[in-house]
């Protein structure tokens, strides 16, 4: 009984293919389902339907038909033999329909019986071996065009035979062009070439082993095609006028690149910075820190500080002029100026004169040198020694130099020094302010101590100027824009000035400017005696005349620009670090406020309910209970908090650490904007922020 095995995407297709091959109707055959179709998941695990179709007895093939089939097979085999080429040895080669590779040779060498009824794909060609009982089928994938005997196959699946003329056509290869661009960066110091190589997408039919049903599936391959030429890069550099420092090796790497990348195809020469003017000090000007413990933990109050001293006519320091930098060159061969260097601005005070390039003392005493940016203040400080107590009998003490008090400072009294303050006994309910260092050998009770007051004052004023300067710049832009409008031009502001317009802007746009200006004035008035640069006071006067009082004086746009420039310069000056020559040392403090722009050292029992702010390192050898302490360069404490859980805050910036020998419940550690509350007693702690900005506690 004649039968065939037929495949299809589903049962219906498999049956129809088999019926067409046998040229019979469904009534003339018996159909056996060997495998149901299975779609799988997104094509994975897909299975085709397979059926076995057999002629029933009523429609069995006649002997003449079978003879015809056998004759067809024999005839086909004979045709194959006839077209086989003869090799040099007189034997037939195994090439069939252009098959010459080893793979197809192995197919035929394995025997015709294994290939009958099958098709396969090799090197973009379809090969077929007929069978009298089964014809292979082919599934056509998207993007593939199959031509059978000159006609394009429209169906997704078709039957093929050995006698069919089969041709495959694929979509043409696509190409992505190479993209590239040249840009000048870093103020013309570099020419950067960005290259994204192109590629060609080639299509071919995936090779398929002999099978009764095959799929024509497209395989894509990408071939990098960098079309950038050396001359293209040189032409683009020429368009940018790049003539200096061309890097030919980088260009070669760029045109051969197979992956996207950046190449420095031209380099300029950076400008070398020079040196600002500087002062070479020839004498020691810094006092040694006071109240220092010895190895046993005791303080020798007889050795509290060393005070430097100069004689009349002695050279304090040598002034060196600035050295200009070396200009650089851009890739377009243009000069790149070096950053401007500035000479020192010397502010000679009492007892110091400038002789040529030298600072010379005209009086004997303690040299006082302070540098902020390019400004150097130099003076010789006198020393006032007050033999008794500071009280109502003596009155307040205000002195331009150093002040040494042999006794104590009593209630409601003030001591203000332009240099250092040294108190041999206690300070109670008093205010002490020094421009430099401060040492108190006794207790500090209900008092306020400030060392380095000038630095604190300048920092506060600079902060206010920075805020107002930004608003003033915006105000100037508004005025310039309004000056172009017809309404602005119709008014004669050259006579009335800008006051009417300033009033409108302050009311509608800059409501916060006046409160900041008034706050600045108040700070200047309180600290005017500590401001040696009169520019701070001059700005306060200008703010009052232009914005607060709105005087009848004509105000021009140029005046506003000049004021903005002065505000900017002083704001930047306030951010310049000053020499850390101020410090504070006290025995112990209770209910007090301590401020120092440098280090603070609390020796003795420590401090209770006290607020401390140190611009340097803060060290407390005893205990800290209650209050809040801050150290800009770190905090080191022996004992903090209490058994009763007294709230005590210890703070440092985000880049600093806190060291504590013993911490009790209620202690709040603050590092940057991170906090940690200690709930039980801990010993030998180190607190810091890690790289993930997390507050970490580490036992030492």
Which of 131-140, 307-316, 372-381, 586-595 has the highest mean predicted lDDT (pLDDT)? 586-595
Measured in residues, the chain has a length of 700
Q: What is the pLDDT of residue 550?
A: 62
Does 273 map to a domain? Answer: no
118 and 162 together in one domain: yes
Model confidence over 322-356: pLDDT tens digits? 999 999 999 999 999 988 888 988 888 888 999 99
Does 566 map to a domain? Answer: yes
C-alpha to C-alpha distance for 649 and 223, rounded to whole angstroms: 67
Q: What is the pLDDT of residue 505?
A: 86
Model confidence over 643-700: pLDDT tens digits? 888 899 999 998 899 999 999 998 999 998 899 999 888 999 999 999 888 999 988 7
Q: Which helix (H) or strand (E) holds 490?
A: helix 486-490
C-alpha to C-alpha distance for 61 and 175, rounded to whole angstroms: 56
153 and 192 together in one domain: yes
555 and 598 together in one domain: no
pTM score of the predicted model = 0.52
**Residue 227 has which token pair?**
């079309």
C-alpha to C-alpha distance for 643 and 568, rounded to whole angstroms: 51
Does 429 map to a domain? Answer: yes
Q: What is the pLDDT of residue 8?
A: 81
Instruction: Of 82-96, 408-422, 468-482, 599-613, give the lowest mean pLDDT range.
Output: 82-96
**pLDDT tops 50 at residue 97:** no
Mean pLDDT calculated for residue range 306-327: 87
pLDDT band at 28 (very low <50, low <70, confident <90, very high): confident
Model confidence over 145-165: pLDDT tens digits? 889 888 888 888 899 988 889
C-alpha to C-alpha distance for 329 and 338, rounded to whole angstroms: 10
131 and 229 together in one domain: yes
Cα distance from N-terminal residue to C-terminal residue, the chain: 95
For 113, left (φ over 0), alpha (ψ -120 to 50), or beta?
A: alpha
Q: Domain of 558?
A: 455-575
The residues pairing with 428 across neighbouring beta strands, listed in sequence order, are: 445
21 and 119 together in one domain: no
Mean pLDDT calculated for residue range 267-272: 93
Mean pLDDT calculated for residue range 2-23: 81
C-alpha to C-alpha distance for 116 and 128, rounded to whole angstroms: 8
242 and 137 together in one domain: yes
224 and 287 together in one domain: no
Mean pLDDT calculated for residue range 258-275: 93
264 and 316 together in one domain: no
pLDDT band at 13 (very low <50, low <70, confident <90, very high): confident
Greater confidence, 468 or 285? Answer: 468
Q: What is the pLDDT of residue 84?
A: 36
Give residues with Cβ within 8 angstroms of 70, minimum separation 6.
Answer: 132
Q: What is the pLDDT of residue 193?
A: 95
SS3 at position 229: coil
112 and 253 together in one domain: yes
Domain count, the chain: 5
Q: What is the pLDDT of residue 613?
A: 92
C-alpha to C-alpha distance for 603 and 161, rounded to whole angstroms: 106
Give residues with Cβ within 8 angstroms of 118, minimum separation 6.
Answer: 128, 129, 131, 136, 210, 211, 212
Model confidence over 205-247: pLDDT tens digits? 889 989 989 998 888 888 888 999 999 999 999 999 999 999 9
115 and 223 together in one domain: yes
Which of 43-47, 99-103, 390-394 has the highest mean predicted lDDT (pLDDT)? 390-394
**pLDDT tops 70 at residue 489:** no
Model confidence over 573-617: pLDDT tens digits? 777 655 556 889 999 999 999 999 889 999 889 999 999 999 889
Q: What is the pLDDT of residue 302?
A: 43
How far is residue 613 from each of residues 254, 436, 437, 589, 694, measured CA to CA in Å?
58, 15, 15, 13, 24
Does 72 map to a domain? Answer: no
């Amino acid at each position: 009984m004649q039968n065939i095995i037929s495949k299809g995407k589903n049962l219906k297709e498999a049956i129809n293919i088999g019926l067409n091959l046998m040229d019979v109707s469904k009534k003339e055959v018996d159909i056996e389902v060997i495998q149901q179709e299975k779609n799988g998941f997104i094509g994975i695990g897909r299975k085709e339907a397979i059926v076995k179709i057999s002629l029933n007895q009523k429609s069995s093939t006649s002997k003449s038909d079978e003879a015809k089939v056998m004759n067809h097979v024999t005839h086909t085999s004979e045709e194959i033999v006839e077209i086989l080429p003869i090799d040099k040895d007189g034997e037939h080669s195994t090439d069939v329909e252009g098959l010459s590779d080893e793979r197809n040779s192995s197919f035929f060498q394995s025997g015709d019986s294994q290939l009958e009824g099958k098709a396969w794909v090799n090197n973009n060609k379809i090969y077929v071996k007929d069978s009298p009982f089964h014809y292979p089928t082919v599934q056509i994938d998207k993007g593939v065009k199959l031509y059978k005997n000159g006609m394009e196959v429209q169906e997704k699946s078709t039957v093929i035979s050995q006698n069919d003329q089969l041709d495959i056509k694929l979509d043409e290869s696509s190409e992505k062009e190479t993209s590239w661009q040249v840009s000048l960066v870093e103020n013309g110091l570099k020419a950067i070439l960005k290259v994204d190589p192109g590629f060609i997408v080639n299509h071919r039919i995936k090779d398929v082993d002999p099978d009764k049903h095959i799929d024509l599936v497209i395989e894509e391959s990408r071939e990098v095609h960098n079309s950038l030429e050396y001359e293209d890069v040189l032409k683009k550099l020429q368009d940018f006028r790049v003539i200096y420092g061309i890097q030919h090796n980088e260009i070669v790497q760029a045109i051969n690149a197979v992956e996207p990348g950046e190449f420095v195809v031209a380099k300029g020469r950076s400008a070398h910075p020079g040196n600002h003017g500087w002062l070479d000090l020839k004498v020691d000007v810094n006092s040694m820190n006071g109240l220092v413990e010895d190895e046993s933990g005791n303080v020798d109050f007889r050795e509290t500080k060393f005070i430097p001293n100069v004689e009349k006519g002695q050279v304090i320091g040598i002034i060196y002029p600035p050295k200009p930098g070396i200009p650089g060159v851009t890739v377009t061969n243009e000069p790149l100026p070096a950053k401007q260097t500035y000479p020192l601005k010397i502010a000679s005070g009492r007892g110091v004169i400038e002789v040529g390039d030298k600072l010379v003392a005209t009086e004997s005493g303690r040299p006082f040198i302070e540098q902020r940016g390019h400004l150097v203040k130099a003076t010789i400080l006198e020393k006032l020694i007050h033999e008794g107590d500071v009280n109502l009998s003596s009155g307040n003490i205000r002195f331009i130099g150093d002040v040494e008090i042999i006794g104590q400072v009593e209630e409601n009294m003030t001591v203000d020094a332009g240099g250092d303050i040294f108190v041999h006994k206690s300070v109670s309910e008093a205010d002490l302010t020094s421009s430099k260092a401060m040492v108190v050998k006794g207790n500090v009770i209900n008092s306020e101590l400030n060392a380095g007051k000038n630095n604190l004052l300048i920092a506060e004023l600079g902060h206010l100027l920075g805020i107002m300067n930004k608003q003033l710049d915006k105000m100037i832009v508004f005025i310039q824009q309004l000056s172009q409008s017809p309404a602005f031009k119709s008014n004669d502001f050259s006579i009335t000035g800008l006051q009417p317009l300033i009033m409108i802007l302050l009311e509608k746009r800059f409501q916060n400017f006046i409160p900041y200006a008034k706050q600045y004035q108040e700070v200047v008035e309180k600290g005017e005696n500590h401001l040696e640069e009169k520019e701070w006071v001059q700005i306060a006067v200008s703010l009052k005349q232009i914005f607060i009082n709105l005087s009848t004086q004509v105000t021009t746009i140029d005046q506003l620009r000049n004021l903005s420039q002065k505000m900017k310069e002083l704001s930047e000056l306030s951010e310049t670090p000053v020499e850390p020559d101020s410090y504070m040392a006290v025995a112990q403090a209770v209910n007090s406020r301590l401020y120092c722009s440098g280090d603070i050292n609390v020796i003795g029992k420590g401090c209770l309910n006290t607020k401390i702010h140190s611009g340097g390192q803060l060290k407390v050898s005893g205990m800290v209970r209650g209050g809040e302490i801050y150290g800009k360069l770190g905090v080191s404490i022996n004992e903090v908090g209490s058994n009763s859980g007294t709230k005590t805050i210890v703070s440092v910036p985000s880049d600093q650490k806190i060291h504590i020998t013993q911490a009790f419940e209620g202690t709040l550690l603050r590092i940057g904007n991170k906090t940690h509350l200690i709930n039980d007693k801990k010993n030998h702690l180190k607190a810091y922020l890690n790289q993930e900005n997390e507050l970490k506690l580490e036992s030492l």
